[in-house]
């Protein structure tokens, strides 16, 4: 029995959905604890591809409880759409296997409109958000004026809180962002419609998880986004608005750090980023395009082309440090097959100096140039490899070097999107 946190070790889209799907077999509960439907986690089951934005990836396994914790911001419309689709496809037969924290914050219509209008107004300085209202919803949470699920389920409290805040939101929308205002009635009608569906899932999920732990059940925490998108530890302000690092698993679920046994960071064998912000190893050439095509690097949430580049060992080491990674899962190694040379960034050149840590300052990181170590590539199709020994020697050496440079043991290597295309070296649940 172990409680395991899975987080993104880069800029998101590392393949967390696939790894969580693999690990779910060994867990009793799968918990989302931060972010919202800005996430897009892809799972491939047989020939079926499922993209989950909000519901934990454990939902495709019968008998596993899925929890959306207090740290998540939830768009009720998206939640209902997602469960409706899952049910239509034969999943979520038992509603008691999905639970929402009554303390989680609700994404309101004005959050989405403000997110999109603010980005439009920012022009070249925009963050490149997913436009899902995530930032504005967390602003209200931290500003102590958010609307929680428990408020939505209490008609009086909901009406009062919406009335209290709507004048301010409409002022911002109309006077500052040049957009349309909302009426109380339209919000009330829409959201009261959602309340009835959400009610049956609401629970004190911290207590529920506590009881599961006491009963000897295991928890799998499914992180969204990635380390460099963390509001504290990422490339601020080009980040999302939540704590994507492992610490967020505790604050976002109400489970103590003393209950966490393993933290696994997911990293692609190269790197991608969607949206704006520094990306020292970015390739804006034909190699970048080749990675984009081979890795099908187009956003699962917005469909935007992902920026592509080489594996950055400084970023990996940073992720090991701020998350306390006990293991790294390397994904998409197959995407590198066919490249003559593969590169890994081992340092940054800045102002005549060599940096070996990711600098905190945006101005500094924007001026950093990557220093690379080059490796000979391999041409074989590796998607059928079941052990490291079955990989071409050059691919084995590449993994070994990544492991040395990153500073945490590689516990899993993914060589294709399917469940079967996975080399498991150590199972964190059997620690």
By CB under 6 A, residue 129 contacts ligand GDP: no
By CB under 6 A, residue 86 contacts ligand GDP: no
Characterize 109-133 residue by residue with b for buried, 16 or more Cβ atoms within 10 angstroms of its Cβ, and e for exposed. Answer: bbbbbbbbbbbeeeeeeebbbbbbb
Least separation in angstroms between residue 73's CB and ligand GDP is 17
Q: Which is nearer to ligand GDP, 265 or 278 (CB)?
A: 265
Closest residue to bound ligand IMO by CB: 275
Q: Which does 38 bind (CB under 5 to 8 A by kind): ligand GDP, Mg ion, ligand IMO, none?
A: ligand IMO
The reply, when asked if residue 246 is annotated as ligand binding, is no
Task: Determine phi and psi for 118, rounding to 5 degrees.
Answer: -65, -40
The reply, when asked if residue 15 is annotated as ligand binding, is yes
Q: Which does 343 bind (CB under 5 to 8 A by kind): ligand IMO, Mg ion, ligand GDP, none?
A: none
How many residues are recorded in the chain?
A: 431
Least separation in angstroms between residue 39's CB and Mg ion is 6
Q: Which is nearer to ligand IMO, 325 or 391 (CB)?
A: 325
> Closest Cα partner for 100 from 251, 205, 210, 206?
205
Alpha-carbon distance of 169 to 163, in angstroms, equals: 10
- Total Cβ atoms within 10 A of residue 386: 13
Provide the binding-site residues for ligand IMO, judged by CB under 6 A. Answer: 8, 12-13, 38-41, 127-130, 132, 134-135, 224-226, 229, 240-241, 274-275, 300
The reply, when asked if residue 144 is annotated as ligand binding, is yes
Q: Would you say 226 and 10 are in contact if contact means Cβ atoms under 8 Å apart?
A: yes
Q: Which does 29 bind (CB under 5 to 8 A by kind): Mg ion, ligand IMO, ligand GDP, none?
A: none
Integer angstrom CA distances of residue 107 from 78, 152, 162, 199, 277: 10, 11, 12, 16, 25
Provide the binding-site residues for Mg ion, judged by CB under 5 A. Answer: 13, 40, 300
- Total Cβ atoms within 10 A of residue 277: 21
Least separation in angstroms between residue 244's CB and Mg ion is 12
Q: Which does 44 bind (CB under 5 to 8 A by kind): ligand GDP, Mg ion, ligand IMO, none?
A: ligand GDP
The reply, when asked if residue 296 is annotated as ligand binding, is no
The reply, when asked if residue 304 is annotated as ligand binding, is yes
Of these, 70, 235, 281, 300, which contacts ligand GDP (CB under 6 A)? Answer: 300
Q: In a 10 Å sphere around its CB, with 0-12 CB exposed, 13-18 middle and 19+ buried, how is residue 390 labelled?
A: middle
Q: Which is nearer to ligand GDP, 162 or 399 (CB)?
A: 399
Least separation in angstroms between residue 272's CB and Mg ion is 10
The reply, when asked if residue 332 is annotated as ligand binding, is yes
By CB under 6 A, residue 71 contacts ligand GDP: no
Q: Would you say 322 and 245 are in contact if contact means Cβ atoms under 8 Å apart?
A: yes
Alpha-carbon distance of 173 to 427, in angstroms, equals: 50
SS3 213: helix
Alpha-carbon distance of 181 to 429, in angstroms, equals: 50
By CB under 6 A, residue 331 contacts ligand GDP: yes
**Which positions are annotated as active-site residues?**
13, 41, 141
Alpha-carbon distance of 6 to 226, in angstroms, equals: 10
Q: Which is nearer to ligand IMO, 128 or 392 (CB)?
A: 128
Q: Annotated binding site for substrate, which residues?
A: 300-306
Q: Annotated binding site for Mg(2+), which residues?
A: 13, 40
């Amino acid at each position: 029995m172990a409680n395991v946190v899975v987080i993104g070790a880069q800029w998101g889209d590392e393949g967390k959905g696939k790894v969580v799907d693999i690990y779910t077999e060994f867990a009793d509960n799968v918990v989302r604890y931060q972010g919202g439907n800005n996430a897009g986690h892809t799972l491939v089951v047989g020939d079926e591809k499922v993209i989950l934005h909000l519901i934990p990836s454990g939902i495709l396994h019968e008998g596993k409880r899925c929890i959306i914790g207090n740290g998540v911001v939830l768009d009720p419309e998206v939640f209902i759409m997602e469960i409706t689709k899952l049910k239509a496809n034969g999943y979520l037969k038992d509603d008691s296997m999905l639970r929402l924290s009554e303390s989680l914050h609700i994404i309101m219509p004005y959050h989405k409109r403000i997110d999109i209008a603010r980005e439009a107004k920012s022009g070249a300085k925009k963050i490149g958000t997913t436009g899902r209202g995530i930032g504005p919803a967390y602003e209200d949470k931290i500003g102590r004026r958010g609307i929680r699920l428990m408020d939505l389920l209490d008609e009086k409290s909901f009406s009062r809180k919406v009335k209290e805040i709507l004048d301010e939101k409409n002022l911002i929308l109309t006077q500052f962002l040049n957009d349309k205002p909302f009426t109380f009635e339209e919000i009330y009608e829409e959201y009261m419609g959602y309340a009835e569906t959400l009610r049956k899932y609401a629970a004190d999920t911290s207590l529920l998880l506590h009881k599961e732990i006491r009963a000897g059940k295991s928890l799998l925490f499914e992180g969204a986004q990635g380390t460099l998108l963390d509001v504290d530890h990422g490339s601020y302000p080009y980040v999302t608005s939540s704590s994507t690092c492992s610490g967020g698993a505790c604050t976002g679920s109400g489970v103590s750090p003393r209950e966490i046994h393993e933290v696994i960071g997911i990293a692609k064998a190269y790197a991608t980023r969607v949206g704006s912000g520094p990306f020292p190893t970015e390739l804006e050439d034909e190699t970048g395009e080749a990675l984009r095509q081979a890795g099908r690097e187009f956003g699962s949430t917005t469909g935007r082309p992902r920026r592509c580049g080489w594996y950055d060992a400084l970023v990996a080491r940073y992720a090991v440090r701020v998350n306390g990674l006990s293991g790294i899962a390397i994904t998409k190694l197959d995407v590198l097959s066919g490249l003559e040379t593969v590169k890994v960034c081992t340092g940054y050149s800045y102002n005549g100096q060599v940096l070996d840590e990711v600098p905190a300052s945006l101005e500094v990181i924007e001026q950093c140039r990557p220093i690379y170590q080059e490796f000979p590539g391999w041409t074989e199709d590796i998607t059928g490899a079941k052990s490291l020994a079955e990989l071409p020697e050059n691919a084995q050496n590449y993994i070994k070097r990544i492991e040395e440079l990153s500073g945490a043991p590689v516990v899993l290597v993914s060589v294709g999107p399917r469940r079967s295309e996975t080399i498991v070296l150590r199972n964190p649940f059997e620690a």
